[in-house]
Amino acid sequence: MALCEMCGKESQLVLAEVEGGELNVCPGCLKYGTRKKNVNSGMNKSIPGKKFAKIERTEFKVVNNYSSLIRSARESKDMKQEDFAKFLNEKESILTKWESGSLKPRLDVARRLERVLGIRLVERDVVGKVEKQEKQKAAAEFTLGDFIKTRKRK
């Protein structure tokens, strides 16, 4: 028990913010201020350290076989280059270059073509990581196959 810093009454005190200052007040005087959260519970000490955002540069690129993909998308719609170009809102000369492989669509254009045509034209550029992933996958499959064989023998 302690004395309320506002009225002087002996009571179980609560830390409250009163007019910008902190006072230990009795429950009766609490209405004159705002109750402060218990600051000495130790919770504040365990604020999680700033998590360092894992910076992963994900690069995307237009697939190498974009020309055949665009051409086959057009052929599947049974369209002439002229009509297809209009359909895509592109110049026919541009489309001709795409289909001949002499011009690679820009990434944003390729993204739009993907949506319009429902094909994949953009892939994640993961050069250097692919080999490792495939090795891991192969190893996992082998282990699983091994496991099944072992089970069958029993």
Query: Least distance from C-beta 5 to Zn ion, angstroms?
Result: 8
Whole-number Cα distances in Å, 92 to 96, 99, 154: 6, 10, 66
Query: Least distance from C-beta 11 to Zn ion, angstroms?
Result: 7
Query: Which tokens hold the place of 143?
Result: 């282990």
The verdict on 13 binding Zn ion (CB under 5 A) reads: no
| Closest to Zn ion by CB, 4 or 110 | 4
Query: Which tokens hold the place of 45?
Result: 């000490």
The verdict on 7 binding Zn ion (CB under 5 A) reads: yes
Contacts by residues 3-12 (CB-CB < 8 Å, ≥ 24 positions apart): 4/28, 4/29, 6/32
Q: Would you call 117 helix, strand, or coil by DSSP? A: helix
| Closest to Zn ion by CB, 6 or 69 | 6
Stretch of 8-16, 61-69, 78-86, 92-100 contacting Zn ion, by CB under 5 A: 8-16
Q: Which residues bind Zn ion (CB under 5 A)?
A: 4, 6-7, 9, 26, 29
